Amino acid sequence: MSEIQDKMFQEIRNKKIFNQVQEYSFEYLESVFDRNVYPTDEAIKNLSVFEEELSVESTSAEEVLKQLNFYGSPTTTATLGGRYFGFVTGSAVPVGLAAKKLGTFWDQAPAMNVLSPIGSKLEAVVEKWMIELFNLPSNTSAGFVSGTSTANLCSLAAARYRILQRNNWDVNEKGLRNSPKIRVITGVHAHSTVLKAIGILGLGKENIEWVPVDNHGRIISEQIPELDESCILILQAGNVNSGAFDDFEAICRKAKKANAWIHIDGAFGLWAGAVKKLKHLTKGIENASSWAVDGHKTLNTPYDCGIVLCADREAMIAALHMSGSYIVESEERDGMFYTPEMSRRARIIELWSIMKYLGKKGIDEMILMMHKRAKQFAKEILEIEGFYVENDVVFNQVVVRCDSNDITTNVLCNIQRLRECWLGGSVWFGKKVMRVSICSWATTEDDISRSVMSFKKALDLELEKQKVIK
Ligand SMILES: *Cc1c(COP(=O)(O)O)cnc(C)c1O
């Protein structure tokens, strides 16, 4: 036995490092809900300890983990807690963290059924659950990917395949040179990952036919150009700033008649469809051809977890298929036919666990709660002079600004420095804004009020500074 092999068997036998990590994890969980949401400057400075040459000699496992925990834990952002409102991040449902831990030990790659019967089974089951939850066509396929970026990419790849195939053009064989034309139509507020996918797939961002949006960020239906079967129309469930939803009911009916491919980027917003009181927002999505949605945002699975759903199973498989003499295809589900990767981790373990744990009622309750907290935030912030809410809070997003771009920028900077909560900025119809995204199961009413107080303090600091300058 080699020295390093012997050492590794010892780690397994004595379990010390696993207990050590367990302890670190529990310590982390105990503090993360109430600590500074963003790491301190000092903690970040200390990250310089990692700047070292790769050592020649092996380091003890305890030492490796100790360094990771000591310097790493304080420099995480507290996205697991209730006062992280940046991007659309989402916490993690506890059972998901626990299941992921078990899944870590299993170390499965659900590429093929023979590689992981459990992974394959859970994927097949959750595919059915998704179809039912979002009321999608019964033959819809699901691919379990790293996030909506990849889900958008896969969807548009399927669209590209199908549109060209209808013209007797196999894009996998012939590529795009001299291919029949594909038209791409989307709103001016489309998420940049949609544009990235269009770029990667060779559809060309310059070829996009842009549709203007109304002051909520929704595509103006009347301004969608005449569609035909060479079109990919990309809609949005959840505008990344305002949380607004396109009018799927009207748009999809018309686009479907024209035989256009309709893709819906519903990274965080598609989940509104699983909530009784919010379902009206996603009305009509069942008429689309593909959908992209994240587990790791609104559903609060751990990162990385996205789902690509496609009503045209054949197109999806044709776009992502691979084979080889050593591949074992089974009667059961082989996950790699629905994802760009062959090997990938079995993220389905967390996704299945969280869906089973919550059930339909729990999903409904958790997501409705996020909506209510967003409403609460908007109400409380409007009670403070100097803050304005720029959007209709239809889901989980609140767009806030102050009296001028400069004040908004400085106040945001103060909020971030106070570390009581964290959020980012954006631009909304030419104005600098603060973007509050409420998507953690852990956010309480008190978290909202505490955060609003931090906004107030940040504004007071800015007004104080202005007085001094004058
Ligand atoms: C977050 C987001 C994406 C990208 O999703 P990832 O999971 O980060 O890859 C795409 N579209 C919208 C609307 C989003 O909010």
Domain residue extents for the chain: 3-78, 99-354
What's the CA gap between 70 and 87, in Å, rounded? Answer: 27
Dihedral sign, CA of 252, 256, 259, 265? Answer: positive
Looking at the chain, how many residues does it have? 470
Can you name the residues that pair with 261 across neighbouring β-strands? Answer: 232
d(CA 200, CA 157): 10
Residues 267, 297: contact at Cβ < 8 Å? yes
Return mean pLDDT, the chain: 97
| Residues 412-430 pLDDT 10s | 999 999 999 999 999 999 9
Ligand 1 centroid to Cα of residue 267, in Å, is 5
pLDDT at 190: 97
Whole-angstrom distance, CA of residue 40 vs CA of residue 344: 34
Question: Which architecture does CATH list for 99-354?
Answer: 3-Layer(aba) Sandwich (3.40)
Residue 291's φ and ψ, nearest 5 degrees, are -140, 145
Q: What average pLDDT score do residues 298-315 get?
A: 97
Ligand 1, residues 145, 149, 296: which to mutate, most atoms within 8 A of Cβ? 149
**Tell me, what DSSP letter sits at residue 47?**
G
Report pLDDT for 88: 95
Ligand 1 centroid to 295 CA: how many Å? Answer: 11
For 428-437, what is the mean pLDDT? Answer: 98
The preferred substitution site among 79, 144, 193 for testing ligand 1, maximizing ligand atoms within 8 Å of CB, is 193
pLDDT at 13: 97
Question: Is it the case that residue 470 has pLDDT exceeding 80?
Answer: no
Query: How far lies 165's CA from each of 102, 182, 228, 385, in Å?
Result: 43, 11, 15, 58
Q: Which atom of ligand 1 is nearest to the CA of 296?
A: 7
Percentage of the chain with pLDDT > 90? 96
| Rounded Cα–Cα distance for residues 385 and 211 (Å) | 36
Q: Is the whole model's pTM more than 0.85, yes or no?
A: yes
Q: What local confidence, expressed as pLDDT, does residue 469 receive?
A: 82
What does the pLDDT read at residue 321? 87
Q: How many whole angstroms from 150 Cα to the centroid of ligand 1?
A: 9
pLDDT digit string, tens, across residues 121-135 = 999 999 999 999 999
Name the residue of 198, 294, 305 to mutate for ligand 1: max ligand atoms within 8 A of Cβ: 294
Q: How many CB atoms lie within 10 A of CB 376?
A: 19
For 162-207, how does the pLDDT look when each residue is reduced to its tens digit (9 = 90+)? 999 999 999 999 999 999 999 999 999 999 999 999 999 999 999 9
323 pLDDT above the threshold of 90: no
Please tell me whether residue 315 adopts helix, strand or coil conformation: helix
pLDDT at 123: 98
pLDDT, position 140: 98
The span from the CA of 212 to the CA of 222, in Å, is 10
Residue 252, token pair as written in the block: 């999809």
* Distance between Cα 307 and ligand 1 center (Å): 11
The mean per-residue pLDDT over the stretch 42-53 comes to 98
Query: 293: closest CA among 98, 96, 152, 195?
Result: 152
Burial classification of residue 76, based on how many CB atoms lie within 10 Å of its CB (0-12 exposed, 13-18 middle, 19 or more buried): middle
